[in-house]
């Protein structure tokens, strides 16, 4: 069953935020830890790799899920979940049977197909759109470069290829706008270890503007998003979330914001850059590296992170069946760590990034001791670089706790899980 929406945004209001466009503002005081509001997904899609372990309807993790009788590729908690998801699943069910292993639309394409179907069956405003309607989403169409426009056209082609029976398509121009809206306003649903579960649209949550010093965080219970205060919020104060990972230095964060959301952040953190020096810590050597050497290594680190991201994306499906390719990814991590380690301290965020990726590969190949070694190196710098309320730190303690338990170190495991 999907979670029912909890508190609704009665203590909040939509307003015009100076220099930022639409925004969300508090009408009353909110204490640290208080739930501002919750928002059920307008529509959501479970990632393919989690099928069989999570319900396609409510995203609950359970054993003994029931298969869809037709495609045998979607799984549900019970008949109720299956019936509730059928209006969306029917978009894919017959196509999955017809295409077999060649059925491979991207998550963005799958999510967009569901939006089109939802708009047809529910033209009225939904429970997810109390403050902002999907049709009001910003597309930033005028800011798209040729590469982004080409990617959207590829998605449109895939939409036409994989979906036909149950969809009515608008014209190409309208589809370009819709895909651009999804790219800017879609959410990634994650589990308690911040592993990817799927993608969703949460219109009211999308109303919040970004800050690298946010006063709320968004967490998920199945397909329900919850917005909770991590700082005291006074009446009249704008509510900010973070669109990106806050681990990285100012330049990297703003590169990501410009590329994905088409703006620069002007929060206190970005203006002062006060945490950047710690995040980019250099090794203390008798012969310190030159400024040029440091710049070159930062450039190398950014490139290798992007290279690894692409390798992980293209080889992921193969890695599900071919362990040697997972070992190849681990080798990329280890070689880059060795090279960067000649200049960077282990607490440098680029080192931490590659350690985290290496830990993920170790977990995938069930090398628990290897994963634990990386996790132990990561946790203290994470606690320093991330805000005190960070889900990244909490999820790392959870991973460590589970690893200690798996390796029969109960004392350390209990301590980590308590953290």
* pLDDT value at residue 165: 79
* 317 belongs to a structural domain: yes
* pLDDT value at residue 320: 45
If asked whether residues 178 and 213 sit together in one domain, one would say no
pLDDT band, very low/low/confident/very high, at 85 (cuts 50, 70, 90): very high
Of the three residues 188, 218, 240, the one that is the final residue of a domain is 188
Q: Is it the case that residue 153 has pLDDT exceeding 50? A: yes
Kindly report which listed range (45-59, 322-336, 374-388, 391-405) carries the lowest average pLDDT score: 322-336
Kindly report which listed range (55-64, 327-336, 348-357) carries the lowest average pLDDT score: 327-336
* 119 belongs to a structural domain: yes
With 0-12 / 13-18 / 19 or more C-beta atoms within 10 angstroms meaning exposed / middle / buried, residue 268 is exposed
Q: What is the domain-level CATH number for residue 359?
A: 1.25.40.10
Q: Is it the case that residue 6 has pLDDT exceeding 80? A: no
Average pLDDT over residues 150-173: 94
**If you average pLDDT over every residue of the chain, what do you get?**
93
* pLDDT value at residue 252: 96
Structural domain count of the chain: 3
* 370 belongs to a structural domain: yes
* 2 belongs to a structural domain: no
Q: What is the spatial distance between Cα 360 and Cα 312, in angstroms, rounded to a whole number?
A: 11
* pLDDT value at residue 370: 96
If asked whether residues 122 and 231 sit together in one domain, one would say no
CA nearest to 178, candidates 117, 221, 95: 117
For residue 301, the enclosing domain spans 273-418
Return the residue matching tokens 């996790």.
375
* pLDDT value at residue 16: 96
pLDDT band, very low/low/confident/very high, at 259 (cuts 50, 70, 90): very high
Cβ(39)–Cβ(203) below 8 Å: yes
If asked whether residues 183 and 52 sit together in one domain, one would say yes
Q: What is the domain-level CATH number for residue 48?
A: 1.10.220.160
If asked whether residues 60 and 167 sit together in one domain, one would say yes
- Residue 116 contacts by C-beta under 8 Å, 6 or more apart in sequence? 167, 168, 169, 170, 178
Cβ(379)–Cβ(400) below 8 Å: yes
Question: CA angle, corner 128, sides to 33 and 142, nearest 5?
Answer: 105
Task: Give the pTM.
Answer: 0.91
Q: Is it the case that residue 137 has pLDDT exceeding 50? A: yes
Cβ(6)–Cβ(199) below 8 Å: no
Residue by residue, DSSP assigns 305-364 as HHHHHHHHHHHHHHHTT-HHHHHHHHHHHHHHHHHHTTTB-TTSHHHHHHHHHHHHHHHH
Q: Is it the case that residue 318 has pLDDT exceeding 70? A: no
* 196 belongs to a structural domain: no
- Kindly state the helix (H) or strand (E) to which residue 224 belongs, with its residue range: strand 224-229
* pLDDT value at residue 309: 79
Q: Is it the case that residue 36 has pLDDT exceeding 70? A: yes
């Amino acid at each position: 069953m999907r979670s029912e929406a909890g508190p609704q945004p009665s203590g909040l209001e939509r307003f015009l935020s100076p220099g930022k466009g639409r925004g969300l503002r508090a009408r009353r005081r909110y204490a640290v830890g208080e739930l501002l509001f919750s928002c059920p997904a307008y529509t959501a899609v479970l990632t393919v790799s989690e099928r069989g372990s999570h319900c396609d309807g409510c995203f609950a993790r359970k054993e003994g899920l029931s298969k869809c009788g037709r495609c045998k590729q979607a799984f549900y908690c019970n008949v109720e979940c299956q019936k509730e998801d059928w209006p969306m699943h029917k978009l894919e069910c017959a196509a999955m049977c017809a295409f077999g292993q060649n059925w491979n639309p991207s998550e963005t394409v799958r999510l967009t197909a569901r939006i089109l179907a939802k708009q047809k069956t529910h033209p009225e405003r939904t429970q997810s759109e109390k403050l902002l309607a999907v049709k009001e989403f910003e597309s930033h169409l005028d800011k798209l470069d040729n590469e982004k426009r080409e990617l959207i056209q590829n998605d449109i082609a895939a939409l036409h290829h994989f979906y036909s029976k149950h969809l009515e398509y608008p014209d190409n121009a309208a589809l370009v706008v819709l895909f651009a809206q999804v790219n800017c306003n879609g959410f990634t649903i994650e589990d308690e270890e911040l592993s990817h579960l799927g993608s969703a649209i949460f219109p009211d949550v999308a109303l919040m503007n970004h800050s690298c010093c946010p006063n709320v965080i968004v967490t998920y219970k199945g397909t329900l998003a919850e917005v909770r205060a991590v700082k005291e919020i006074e009446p009249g104060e704008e509510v900010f979330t973070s669109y990106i990972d806050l681990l990285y230095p100012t330049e990297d964060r703003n590169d990501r914001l410009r590329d994905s959301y088409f703006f620069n952040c002007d929060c206190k953190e970005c203006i002062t850059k006060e945490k950047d020096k710690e995040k980019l810590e250099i090794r203390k050597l008798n012969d310190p590296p030159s400024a040029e050497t440091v710049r070159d290594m930062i450039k190398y680190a950014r490139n290798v992170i992007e290279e690894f991201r692409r390798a992980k994306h293209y080889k992921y499906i193969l890695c599900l069946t071919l362990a040697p390719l997972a070992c190849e990814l681990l080798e990329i991590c280890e070689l880059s760590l060795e090279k960067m380690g000649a200049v960077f301290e282990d607490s440098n965020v680029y080192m931490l990034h590659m350690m985290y990726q290496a830990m993920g590969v170790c977990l995938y190949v069930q090398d628990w001791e290897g994963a634990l070694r990386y996790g132990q190196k990561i946790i203290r710098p994470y606690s320093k670089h991330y805000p005190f309320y960070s889900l990244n730190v909490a999820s790392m303690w959870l991973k460590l706790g589970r690893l200690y338990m798996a390796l029969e170190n109960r004392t350390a495991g209990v301590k980590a899980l308590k953290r």
